[in-house]
Every structure is written in structure tokens, then in C-alpha cells.
Amino acid sequence: MPYPLRFILIAVVTLSAAINTAYAYNDKAQEYLSRGEVKMKSGQHKEAIAEFSGAIESGKKLAPDELASAYFNRGIAKRLTGDIQGSKADLIKAVEIKQIPKDAEAYYNRGAVKSAVGDREGAIADFKRAAALGNAPARRWLTKNGINHSVQKEQNEANSYLSRGKARLNSGNNKGAIADFTKAIDLDLNHTPAYLATAYFNRGIAKRIAGDIKGSKADFTKAIELDPMPKDAEAYYNRGTAKSAIKDNEGAIADFKKAATLGDVTARKWLTDNRYNH
């Protein structure tokens, strides 16, 4: 049975009112986006594609949410003009940019995108997250198709994968560990920041050992973003290790010192060996 494509086929992503303060406001890019939305709504799909392309070319000045919206909307326009391959490429790019949606509707929409590009498992995972956050269409679809969406059941499975991933990592089974940490991330419906940071951190370690340096750095960066205020010594030590891996030496030392203050023996030893006062 096909996935719901209501959003993909008839809706246009509305620009977020809040601009990420880390990105400079770009009047020209905003104008492209606004004109693209207007042309999409009026059925001028080819013209809309040109406007969204203009916004994307100015993308360095856009916040991630807006850049993702530009790719998403261009993907819709391309789909409606019959450019299926181009549409898939843009939709995939939109998902890559906006990796962690912020609400139920965003998860539902991303699930529809994944469905459109043939990522069945990813689509189901996003529909489950949307359902867990109260999205009624997602719940109806999952129920109608006989797919369990019990939050507690999924969370228990996520915890099991995280634990097994750690065991596999300790035993040297890096490939198996990566698979388990990935599954734990996909199944965590509640998206507890500390839990997800742990999963990304450990997957980063496994990828690093396996030789995937680029993937490792991406996971470490994500772990840092997810848990900006660690709550215990181990979390500070892990974040310090992640910062060290992406060459943020000052940040790493600060986190190791905090971990040492909270009693982490490994952090204390590292600081002592490297002659840092703690």
C-alpha cells in the first residue's frame, strides 16, 4: 500500500519565522524562497524550480531549516513536472540537511519524503516518531497497515540495541556495533538528547576504529550538538573525546577538566599525563 503523499503533492513548506542567529540574513535568498512559494501555489512549477534554485545558490547565507525547505520545495516542483530523479535527489538532500526534525508534523513530512524516495524503513521510523509525538495521520496510517507503534516497546528495543552495541564495540566487533547503534538511533522515539548523544558518540568511536574518519567526525559533531549540557562525569569525558576528535582542543580540555572534577579517573589521568592542571 502506498505511503501518504498528501504533503509532498499538495503542500509547500512554509518558511520558518525564526532565523537561526548563526546565519546572516540574506534578503536575496529570502526573496527567491518567497517567490518560489507563490509560484508553486499558483501552479507555475517550472518557474518555482528556478526560484528555489536561486535560493539554494545563496544557501551559505541561509539557516539549515530554510535551505532544507528550498531543496524540499524544489523536489516537489520537480516531481510535479515529471522529473522524478531530480525530485528524489532534492528530497534526499533536504533530509540530509535537516537530520532531526523538531515536531510531529516535521517527522510526518520527512517520513513522506523518505517514502517518495523508496526508503521504506526510514519512512516507517519517522511515521512512528510522528505518532509518538501525537500526529493523528501517522497513527492512523500505522494502525491501518498493522504496524506496531507502542512507544514503550520501541524504547525497550532501542535500549537493547544500545547495550548490545556497546558490548560488540568492547569485543572488537565494530561493524556489528555500528549496526546496533544505528538501530538504537532509529528506534528512539522519544529522542532523549543524552541517550541519542551516547548512541552517536559510541557509533563515532566504532566508525573511527573501522577507518571511517569522516563518518566518525559527523557522529561526534552530532553527539556534541545533542547534549550541550552533560549531566555526569562520563558524559563530559565522552564529549571531551568527541571534541578532541574534531580538533576542538580547548573544548576537549574544558570537558576533561569538568569530568575530572566530577570524579572521572580516566579524565584525571589524561590531564595529568598531558600536564594540565585540574
pLDDT digits (tens, 9 = 90+) for 188-246: 766 677 788 889 989 999 998 898 888 888 888 888 888 777 777 887 888 888 888 88
- Asked if the model's pLDDT at residue 247 lies above 80, the reply is yes
Asked if the structure places residue 16 within a domain, the reply is yes
Tally the residues of the chain.
Answer: 278
Count of beta carbons in the 10 Å neighbourhood of residue 144: 9
CATH of the domain at 268: 1.25.40.10
Q: Quick one: pLDDT band at residue 81, thresholds 50, 70, 90?
A: very high
From 94, 114, 144, give the residue that closes a domain.
144
Mean pLDDT on 39-51: 93
Answer yes or no: are the C-beta atoms of 114 and 127 closer than 8 Å.
no
How many Å apart are CA 41 and CA 5, to the nearest integer? 17
How many Å apart are CA 58 and CA 60, to the nearest integer? 6
Selected residue with higher pLDDT from 32 and 155: 32
- Asked if the model's pLDDT at residue 19 lies above 80, the reply is no
Asked if the structure places residue 45 within a domain, the reply is yes
Contacts for 195 with CB less than 8 Å, ≥ 6 apart: 158, 162, 188
Print burial letters for 65-101: b (CB count within 10 Å at least 16), e (below 16): bbbbbbbbbbbbbbbbeebeebbbbbbbbbbebbeeb
From 144, 174, 191, give the residue that closes a domain.
144
Asked if the structure places residue 1 within a domain, the reply is no
In this structure, what DSSP letter does residue 13 have?
P
Nearest to residue 4, comparing CAs of 96, 133, 138, 135? Answer: 138
Mean pLDDT on 22-43: 78
Answer yes or no: are the C-beta atoms of 181 and 165 closer than 8 Å.
yes
Give the percent of the chain with pLDDT over 90: 21
C-alpha dist (Å) from residue 84 to 8, 52, 90, 189? 13, 17, 10, 31
Count of beta carbons in the 10 Å neighbourhood of residue 116: 23
Same domain, yes or no, for 251 and 227? yes
Same domain, yes or no, for 217 and 101? no
Which pLDDT does position 21 carry in this prediction? 38
Asked if the structure places residue 73 within a domain, the reply is yes
Give the percent of the chain with pLDDT over 70: 83
Cell numbers for 130: 510522528
Same domain, yes or no, for 125 and 193? no
Q: What is the identity of the amino acid at 199?
A: A
Same domain, yes or no, for 138 and 200? no
> What residue numbers bound the domain in which 140 lies?
6-144
Q: Give the tens place of pLDDT for each residue, 90-117.
A: 888 887 776 666 677 778 877 877 877 7
Same domain, yes or no, for 210 and 135? no
Asked if the structure places residue 115 within a domain, the reply is yes
Segment among 18-32, 102-116, 146-160 with least mean pLDDT: 18-32
Same domain, yes or no, for 132 and 172? no
- Asked if the model's pLDDT at residue 14 lies above 60, the reply is no
Question: What are the E-state strand segments in 104-197?
Answer: none
How many Å apart are CA 111 and CA 186, to the nearest integer? 12
From 122, 144, 166, give the residue that closes a domain.
144
Asked if the structure places residue 72 within a domain, the reply is yes
Same domain, yes or no, for 203 and 75? no
* Domain total of the chain: 2
Asked if the structure places residue 278 within a domain, the reply is no
Count of beta carbons in the 10 Å neighbourhood of residue 2: 6
Selected residue with higher pLDDT from 21 and 60: 60
Same domain, yes or no, for 11 and 106? yes
Q: Could you give the maximum distance between any two Cα atoms of the chain, in Å? A: 66
- Asked if the model's pLDDT at residue 51 lies above 80, the reply is yes
C-alpha dist (Å) from residue 142 to 1, 21, 113, 115, 132? 11, 37, 16, 14, 11
Instruction: Return left, alpha or beta for 166; rule: phi > 0 is left, psi -120 to 50 is alpha, else beta.
Output: alpha
Same domain, yes or no, for 131 and 187? no
Element (H, E) at 156: helix 151-171
Same domain, yes or no, for 125 and 190? no
Same domain, yes or no, for 198 and 82? no
